[in-house]
Structure 1
């Protein structure tokens, strides 16, 4: 398997396992309680596009630079910042434009976005360094 596919697959599996665990087991009740009628059924195509684009962003903006710098700390810190930035774009826009959007949802999403992105980027860099992928 080539370098890009190994890195992408590692990041994708890490992110999907963490995010699905969050969405299905941890935050589901919170979102149902807080967002109520705003929730609809999940649309698979837009979700798949989001995951693909977001993963490419993690690789381009964090994972590859971290590997070039040989820095796990860079992966963790830049990953946290990218997650905060991206999740803030969605949640703060909703908070600013959607009537009764709960600030609590925005806060937990910002924390989650930073945590899941940092973890995904950090783990991906760790695995690539451990197996000496290049």
Structure 2
């Protein structure tokens, strides 16, 4: 259970940095007409966000953490968690591109890569803390 909690917290903290600072300008430029904004800040629907992070934490716990537990931090575990993030975020991005009028290609690339990095960082950080 502690694994799930740490994964959940790491996802939120990493996404706060990503959405709030690193990619905020790009999201506002490319997705501004779809975002909920309060001034310059992207507003977060708390219940939906919590559910999202619970789902993502469970997926990471089920499919990424076991690789770290059996292999430790090595190229296999890092690539495995990166691939999981790419696949999860890619699924979301290409679904949006398939059904929404104006889903930008630049967001697909940016978010899909972020998904890989987010899952890798969250998995690795959690494993190192609990090792």
Cα deviation code 1:37-67 (max 9, x no counterpart):
1113532111110100100110111103421
Which has more helix, going by share of residues? 1
Cα deviation code 1:113-133 (max 9, x no counterpart):
00111111112122222xxxx
Higher relative contact order (CA 8 A, sep 6+): 1
Shift of 1:70: 3.3
Q: CA RMSD in A?
A: 1.4
Gaps of 5+ in 1: 130-134
TM-score, normalised with respect to structure 1 = 0.84
Q: How many residues align structurally? A: 124
Structure-to-structure mapping, 1:109-124, within 5 angstroms: 109-124=111-126
Equivalent residue number for residue 105 of structure 2: 103
TM-score, normalised with respect to structure 2 = 0.86
Q: Is the 8 A contact 2:71 2:77 kept in 1?
A: no
- Distance in 1 between the 2:4 and 2:101 partners? 38
